[in-house]
Chains A and B, each alone.
Chain A
Amino acid sequence: MLRYFAQAWAVARKDLLLEARSRERFVSMATFAVLVAVVFSLALDPAVRARDIAGAMLWVTVLFAGTLGLGRSFALEREADALTGVLVSPVPRGAVFLGKFLANLAIVLAVEAVVFPVFALFFGLRFAGALGGLVLVVVLATVGFMALGTLFSAMTAHTRHGETLLPILLLPLLIPVVIFAASATQRLLVGRPLVEIGGNLRMLLAIDLVFLFLCTAAFGSAMEE
């Protein structure tokens, strides 16, 4: 079991090292997300209070930016045919999946660490009172998002026009994550207590467990060569 996680970590470390050297995905995702925030603030009617819809805006932005970055998760390995190398190594497919998942999770969480303060700055949101709850919501929602995202980016990397295919497949399946995450975020933003989003957190946790189990199991079938 320990060995399994060590192998997963090796895959994750490889991806994170690549990302740390090039910062290709992080920079494009964060820039895109900040641009979306700018577009939102310019497109919104001044009469609309941004605070009332910030939860929805935040999660739509994260969803689009995350999907953008996920497209590159396997594309890079595919281009250099490095994926074959990963797959022929004596690492179980589940561990490969877990490693890719952890790397994606870390990168998207880093992007979110930029996106949320930027939104707070642009729209005058106050997170300070509910920082703990917010972090919990963000982490739980991103785990579910990345579990499905990693599996589907692995599949769409093997298709034509995979980059456009990924959001089409991913968005309808991610609706539960978006609904629970956006409503929890919105409540925290308007200063509701943490207990009120207990149900959301439990649902997000359940979704995470289901998606993680399902996608780890399915990854083996997806990656047969």
Chain B
Amino acid sequence: MMIWTEMNGIDNTPGETSLQGVRRWSVGLGFLAAATLVGSFWMIFFYAPTEREMGIVQRIFYVHVPSAWVAFLAFGIVALCSLGYLWLRDERLDAIALAAAELGVIFTTIVLITGPLWGKIAWGAWWVWEPRLTLTLLLWFIYVGYFILRGATESPERGKRFAAILGIVGAVDIPLIHMSVQWFRSQHPKPVIMNPEGPTAAPEIVQTLLVSLLAFTLLFLSLLLARYVVERLQGPFTALPMIVYGWARQPNPEFRELTSAAIVVLLFVLLTANAAAILLRNRYERNR
């Protein structure tokens, strides 16, 4: 029974209206992001000139750089919200941190996929231990650890606390890692590497990049709010099936019994309600 109160105690249920407002913002920003993305795609393929030295492959840069920017923005949000969560213990801050961490990992993955695609042609190698690449890879590992740690604790509240601590320690560690990997490179002769930014940037290139940055940021904010709403809906009494699903993943045997009981009860209620509906309809139609 302690677990039950623990699960209830963690929530200060948000007003339905405020969540709906957030959802509307998310949808609105989503449309805006879609429009900007279409515009930026047009600019990437038709407006921006093909870069002279790197050729057509340089165009991946308009996806790569905005993704990296969004990922860093996300990890910044994770750190700030984690700090806020440890201080204020506001569930909303934890929900934002979780949403931002998930998006950060997704966008870091995009960076790690687009980078080698470009590097294979521009550098002649899929992977180089260049400071920025190394940092991105380590960031990916740190924030994947964030989810593993969060999911591995027995009580959800503790998972949130631990994840928040990792979010803060990770953010403080990022500059240290950055300094150390740069130090590490400086001792090894570099292979012949072109400047990743490209030697010169035409104004069209800069404009296209700026539009892409805007599009990705809008997309990120829209997804962040959408994910936040989903996370907030998982509070007690708001989405019973989601809660039952959450129980099923708890290792505690008490939860297993709870899950089985809840599924049986839900099934019973569902069947009864349906049977009642069928009976009522049949009777109503016959009487008509």
Q: Give chain B's interface secondary structure class.
A: helix
A169 partner, pick from B149, B177, B181, beta carbons under 8 A: B149
- How distant is the Cα of A224 from the Cα of B222 in the complex, in angstroms? 35
Tell yes or no: B141 within 8 A of A by CB.
yes
When A and B form their complex, which 6 residue pairs have the shortest distance between CB atoms, in order from nearest? A176-B180, A159-B152, A172-B141, A179-B180, A176-B176, A169-B145
- On B, residues with C-beta under 8 Å from A are 86, 138, 141-142, 145, 148-149, 152-154, 158, 161-162, 164-166, 168-170, 172-173, 176-177, 179-181, 183-184, 187, 251
For A70, list chain B residues within 8 Å (CB).
none
- On A, residues with C-beta under 8 Å from B are 148, 151, 155-156, 158-162, 165, 168-169, 171-173, 175-176, 179-180, 183, 199, 203, 207, 210, 214-215, 218, 221-222, 224
By the criterion CB–CB under 8 Å, are B145 and A172 in contact? yes
By the criterion CB–CB under 8 Å, are B183 and A180 in contact? yes
B203 to chain A, nearest CB (A): 39
Which residue on B lies nearest to A173, using beta carbons?
B173
Which residue on A lies nearest to B173, using beta carbons?
A173
A52 to chain B, nearest CB (A): 13
Which residue on A lies nearest to B141, using beta carbons?
A172
- How distant is the Cα of A151 from the Cα of B164 in the complex, in angstroms? 13
A168-B148, A172-B142, A180-B183 known; A160-B154 Cβ under 8 A: yes
Which residue on A lies nearest to B163, using beta carbons?
A155
Which residue on B lies nearest to A179, using beta carbons?
B180
- How distant is the Cα of A180 from the Cα of B169 in the complex, in angstroms? 19
B176 partner, pick from A156, A159, A169, A207, beta carbons under 8 A: A207
A183-B187, A214-B168, A214-B172 known; A222-B180 Cβ under 8 A: no
Which residue on B lies nearest to A218, using beta carbons?
B165
